[in-house]
Amino acid sequence: MPGIGEAILGIINGVLNLVNGMFNAKNTPEMKKAKKQQKETDHQNEIEKAIKEKDLEKLRRLLSE
Amino acid sequence: MKNFAVFFLSSLLLVGCATVTPDKVIDNTASYDASTPAGYDNLNSGIIGFAPDGHGILTPFGIERYNKLIELYKVQFKFAKGVELKENSGVSEFLDKNGNLLYKLDQQHLVYYGILNSWRRDGKDADSFWDKAKDLVK
């Protein structure tokens, strides 16, 4: 019986390590920076589009406090 | 019994890993502007409309907020976008048909205003002492 408990713990440990590894892989400083830059670029494109199309309501939402 | 306790605690840890992060709150309405002249909707985020030349027409508070954002992020904006913003950059005076003094902001600076506003909304820190020092050295 103790062998089964240890096996289960080993599996849980393995799963946790896997999840941790995946999390770290998705959150390297470079990836975080790239994600942030992409978000800023998307936002800038959205503002430019609202101005070009003279979409006042959208621009007001983008410029709200 | 000991193994069971370890197993139980490990299970709790596993459950604890499943942290749910709430979605970011996004404003869907324009903000109120007390400096809006009579005859205009005052839920306008400081922007009244567009002039025929495409420039944005802003209220006095709208321009005040724009200048405040420049003051907060001037150095970081310069490093990020390569543009040095000064107070009232891109701003000119505009009188509406009722003689109310409003302000025009050109399209390029309207985009900059939007970027600065998004920084503020995202909680980005204002220019630090070190940012300003770096700017002085360069």
- Residue positions counted in chain A: 65
The pLDDT value recorded for residue A3 is: 84
Please identify among residues 45-64 of chain A the ones whose CB lies closer than 8 Å to any CB of chain B. Answer: 47-48, 51, 54, 56-57, 59-64
Q: Which residues of B touch A56 (CB under 8 A)?
A: 47, 49-50
Per the structure, the count of domains in chain B is 1
Q: Return the domain boundaries, chain A.
A: 2-62
The pLDDT value recorded for residue A22 is: 81
The pLDDT value recorded for residue B18 is: 55
Mean pLDDT, residues B103-113: 97
Of A2, A43, A59, the CB nearest to B118: A43
Mean pLDDT, residues A56-64: 94
Confidence check: pLDDT of B84 > 80: yes
The pLDDT value recorded for residue B4 is: 65
The position carrying tokens 């205009």 is B40
Residue B36 maps to a domain:
yes
Tell me how close the Cα of A60 comes to any Cα of chain B, in angstroms.
5
Residue B23 maps to a domain:
no
The secondary structure of A1-65 as a DSSP string is: -HHHHHHHHHHHHHHHHHHHHHHHHHT-HHHHHHHHHHHHHHHHHHHHHHHHTT-HHHHHHHT--
3 state DSSP class of B103: strand
Confidence check: pLDDT of B12 > 70: no
pLDDT classification of B134: cutoffs 50, 70, 90: confident
- What mean pLDDT value characterizes chain B? 87
> Looking at residue B42, what DSSP letter applies?
S
Q: Decide the pairing of beta strands B91-95 and B101-105.
A: antiparallel
8 Å CB contact of B44 and A60: yes
> What residue numbers bound the domain in which B116 lies?
32-137
Confidence check: pLDDT of B25 > 60: no
Size of interface A-B (CB pairs under 8 A): 81
The pLDDT value recorded for residue B125 is: 95
| Best residue in B106, B111, B119, B120 for a mutation probing chain A (most A CBs within 10 Å) | B111
Tens digit of each residue's pLDDT (9 = 90 or more) over A15-38? 999 988 887 776 788 888 888 889
- What mean pLDDT value characterizes chain A? 88
Residue B39 maps to a domain:
yes
The pLDDT value recorded for residue A4 is: 87
